[in-house]
Amino acid sequence: MVSAETARTVVGIIGNVFALFFFLSPVPTFVEIWKRGSVEEYSVAPYLAGLVNCLVWTVYGLPVVQPGSILVLTISVAGVAIESAYVVLFFTFSSDKKKRLKMVLVVVLEIVFTALLASLSITFVDTHKRRSMIVGVVCIFFSAIMYSSPLAVMKLVIKTKSVEYMPFTLSLASLINGFVWTCYALIRFDPIVIVPNGLGSLFGLAQLILHAIYYKSTKQQMEAKKTKQVTLSEVYVVTEEEPKKTPKTYSNAPQNGLASET
């Protein structure tokens, strides 16, 4: 019979795979941003939240904080690298200088906070149990922020009746990732992992429900937008054409011995 520890390791590896899928799920969105050359109405909030979430979970997965959590550590480090790339791309394609400045300030604060959390918990807390509890509570807080960050986008979806700016792949990955890591934490009960990932499953499910409700209206709005763009481009082409010159004609009746131009 498979031991609980072996089962936990297997589920943890599966969790790493789905977590990687979760982190990479916004790639199609950023390909679209790259093509358009603008972030348009997309929000950077989920990626800033994802970055700080991965940073604090990296601290939690350290052997000096929570021994035996190497699978948490590996995927958290990968998450830091991927979320950092997203934030850099957002910064590059954002035309709003104030938003770009805010991005920089938030990233700096996130790094400083994580460094303080790691150094203070390792230096001044003397047992693994207490360290993991302190850092774990912080992880729950930031995971809740990460998983709830799409709330602003969900509000926009309900208002506009369009899911254009709430990527389906990210919503699906959020649900699957949260579910798998909840299973991982239940095998060897770990409330620090259960709480945020259970919350992530619920938010992912809520987003998928919105996708189901507004799928048709989104399709109609996007088709109307494309039609409008085509019409505007045709108008632009017409206005750019040079007006045709009317050829001069001459009347047959001479005036003062000269043919008159008309």
Question: What are φ and ψ of residue 149, in 5° steps?
Answer: -60, -30
- Nearest CA to 17 out of 149, 176, 148 is that of 176
Return the minimum-mean-pLDDT range out of 22-26, 81-85, 145-149.
145-149
Q: How confident is the model at residue 171 (pLDDT cuts 50, 70, 90)?
A: confident
Collapsed DSSP state (helix, strand, coil) of residue 247: coil
Contact 166, 222 (CB under 8 A): no
What is residue 257's predicted lDDT score, i.e. its pLDDT?
A: 45
| Cα(196)–Cα(180) distance, integer angstroms | 12
> What is the value of pTM for the model shown?
0.71
For residues 41-46, give the mean pLDDT.
82
Residue 99 confidence (pLDDT): 87
The mean per-residue pLDDT over the stretch 110-117 comes to: 96
Count of Cβ atoms closer than 10 Å to residue 181 Cβ:
30
Please say whether the dihedral angle defined by the alpha carbons of residues 245, 247, 253 and 259, taken in this order, is positive or negative.
positive
Choose among 203, 202, 221, 204: nearest CA to 163. Answer: 221
Report how far residue 194's alpha carbon sits from residue 192's, in angstroms, rounded to the nearest whole number: 6
- What's the full length of the chain, in residues? 262
Q: Does residue 245 sit in helix, strand or coil? A: coil
Reported as a pLDDT band with limits 50, 70 and 90, residue 133 is very high
Q: Which two tokens stand for residue 55?
A: 């940073």
